[in-house]
Amino acid sequence: MKRTVLAVAAFVAAAAALIVAGVVFWYNSQPPVLPTPQYTVRPSATPSPTPSAAPTPAPTLTPDDGGLPQDKLFITEAREGYESGSLSLQIPRLDVDAPVLDGTDEATLLQGLGLYEYAQLPGETGGNVSIAGHRNWVRNGQITDDVPFYYLDTLTDGDFLYLTDETHIYQYLWEKSYVVEPSDWSPIYCHGDSTLTLTTCTPIGVADHRLIIQARLIRILDNDGTFLYPAGSAEELEALSDAQPAPSAG
């Protein structure tokens, strides 16, 4: 009888050991639980500039630089006097026509496009009119494209951009698009000629870099209400051709 009890106890112990070993094997065979990925679906606010440790050497000035420094951020008297909304940005290729507000803080950019504190105005020779804007909105968890800068990356050779005020139309020609780190403020420095610079977050839905669009001023027109705002050079050449009188016969 005693041997039977011992045998049963040994069997139970062995069975328990097998069960524990099985549980341990199953647990170790499961894949590790990974943390849920986190995404930034809304562009971050424009970073505050930090002074550089050492200024870069003064650049060589060009005839169109207006004497403005090209190696640092600064605020002109004209920029200090800017009235919000007195400039408008037109990009016919993208059906953009929007006022340019004063400043690039988050509250302003939630309303639309903002003029950098360190920007110049289009009437300042050699200045860089630098404007920031969000790339998208997020509604009900979905990214939307109903903001002016959503399709900014599609601008290319021959595209025109315009700044207008009450008296003038400033026509710019697209020159280049590129991407920088959020901490890189060089795109809004002066570049030696009269420039328009647009900045926004990229890529859409992540927004950990900045997309830069730069265009060069090509002419200044009177804002008399008759200008047609061509989208690109091909359209303008066609319009000019159509406006020419037909040659007389013979």
| DSSP at 237 | H
* Residue 64: partners with Cβ closer than 8 Å, 6 or more residues away: 125, 126, 192, 193, 194
Q: How far apart are CA 212 and CA 198, in angstroms?
A: 6
Amino acid at 86: S
* 98-100-106-111 Cα dihedral, nearest 10 degrees: -40
Q: How far apart are CA 171 and CA 163, in angstroms?
A: 7
Q: How far apart are CA 19 and CA 14, in angstroms?
A: 9
The number of CA neighbours under 13 Å toward the Cβ of 48 is 1
Q: How far apart are CA 69 and CA 190, in angstroms?
A: 7
Residues 168, 190, 191, 201: which is the catalytic one?
A: 201
Count the residues in the chain.
Answer: 250
Query: Would you call 190 a catalytic residue per the annotation?
Result: no
Q: Give the SS3 label for residue 90.
A: strand
Q: How far apart are CA 13 and CA 242, in angstroms?
A: 100
Place of tokens 């590129």: 178
Residues labelled as active-site residues: 134, 201
